[in-house]
Every structure is written in C-alpha cells, then in structure tokens.
Amino acid sequence: MFQELPDTLDRVMVIAAHPDDPEFGCAGTVVKWALSGKEIVYVLLTSGDKGSHDPDLRPGRMAALREGEQRAAARELGVERVIFLRHPDGLLENTLELRRQLSSLIRQHRPHILVTIDPWRHYQLHPDHRAAGQAALDAMYASREWGIFPEQLVDDVEPWRVREAYLFWTDNADHWEDISASIETRISALARHASQVSPNMEKLAERIRNWTHEMGKEAGYEHAEAFKRFQF
C-alpha cells in the first residue's frame, strides 16, 4: 500500500544504547518538540546494568536504578513512553534479532522522525553506541519493506517509512536545533541520572552550557544541538 506523505511530522522515536544517552545527546530538542505537540517514544537497547564501578552493586540492581532514572528524566522532558529492550550493557551487537525488535517497534509506533546515535562518528570508541546507531538505521530500512520480517505484518500492522532521521554525536552536522529556551530543562533532566552524574553535576552542567553554546555559533543560536539529518 502506498504511504501518503504526512502533513506534519508529529511522531518521534529516539533509539539509544543506554539510559542517559538521550539526555547527553538530544534532550534539548526532545523537550522543545514535546512542547510543540510531538509525540515522543524512547527506546533504550540496554538498561545500563554495567554503569557502576562498585563491585557490590550488582547488575540487576544497577539496571533497576537506571531504568528509574531514565523514566524520571523522560517525564521531565515530556516523553510519552519509555521502552527498555534490556540487552546486555557493554555487549550490544547489531544482530538480526535486534533489528527485528526495532523494526517491529517502528512499524507499531509509526514515527515520522527517528533520532539515534551517529554510528559513523570518527573514533566512536564505545561499541554499544556504534551498534545502537547502526541497528536503528538498519531497522529503519527494514521496517519499510514488505518482504523483511513479514511475520510482523498482522493485526493491521504494515510496513512503515520513516521520513527523517536525526543523528546526534556526529562529526558531520548539517542541521542545528535551537535549544536556547530548553537548555536548562535538558540539564535538569540529565541530573535525574544521579548514579552517573553525581557529585559532578555542577561542573557537567557548565560544560554542557559551553558545549551547546559553541554548537549554537554554527547557526546563530545562543544554544543548539547538532545533527546529521536525512530526509526520505
């Protein structure tokens, strides 16, 4: 069936490797879009269960803690739903099964815009970040094809074509979102990830203000987030 072009791009899916990745990468844009009426869904591929150097904090407890932090941050930003796929932190791979899961979610939620990590960033050392971005883009391609994962096409689920992709943490930015009005909300949401940012949040907040200010200079904004943007 031919998919008509939408009048507005009002559904967004953010796919990232860990809790706190969206707040570090694109939360100023997320809250700005949410306030404008866009419906936003987060998909976290892991629960960040290895996100502690404390040997007494077991992965199961760490995962529960970080999922709670992510939900709190998402609420502050106006995100409507947070989905955790609970793949193992630090061991994420762009497997066929992961692409199958993401394709199913894309077909169910039908986002017009997909936001994820740029897997082609120079010297992107974290393997989970590379895998998350590549899997998200591969699933975006698969979700539009009738012949890929056809078992998903039941109960009125059909192939879905994403209209735009925004890649954050990129070396090849060609699109900037003005977050001058939402920078402090971005910082406040990041502070919800206390297990990762305490007790250094004050210094981190200043670094983020400086970082987004430098990005804003590229487009004439006081603060901005930079993306590689694709339109399909």
**Number of domains comprising the chain:** 1
What confidence score (pLDDT) does residue 42 get? 99
Please report where in the chains the tokens 């899997």 appear, as a residue: 135
Flag whether 62 is in a domain: yes
116 with 137: CB under 8 angstroms? yes
CATH number at residue 204: 3.40.50.10320
Residue 56: predicted pLDDT: 75
Can you give the residue range of the structural domain that contains 69?
A: 11-231
Q: What parts of the chain have a pLDDT lower than 50?
A: 1-2
20 within some domain: yes
Tell me, yes or no, whether 152 lies in a domain: yes
Q: Kindly report the three-state secondary structure assignment for every residue of the chain.
A: CCCCCCCCCCEEEEEECCCCHHHHHCHHHHHHHHHCCCEEEEEEEECCCCCCCCCCCCHHHHHHHHHHHHHHHHHHHCCCEEEEEEECCCCCCCCHHHHHHHHHHHHHHCCCEEEEECCCCCCCCCHHHHHHHHHHHHHHHHHCCCCCCHHHCCCCCCCCCCCEEEEECCCCCCEEEECCCCHHHHHHHHHCCHHHHCCCHHHHHHHHHHHHHHHHHCCCCCCEEEEEEEEC
Q: Please, what's the largest Cα pairwise distance for the chain?
A: 55
pLDDT given for residue 1 in this prediction: 44
Q: How far is CA 163 from the centre of its chain?
A: 16
Look at residue 154 and tell me if it is in a domain.
Answer: yes
Whether residue 115 lies inside any domain: the answer is yes
Query: Residue 194 corresponds to which amino acid?
Result: A
Over the stretch 181-194, which tens digit does the pLDDT of each residue have?
999 999 999 999 99
- pTM equals 0.95
Q: Encoding tokens for residue 23?
A: 């707040």
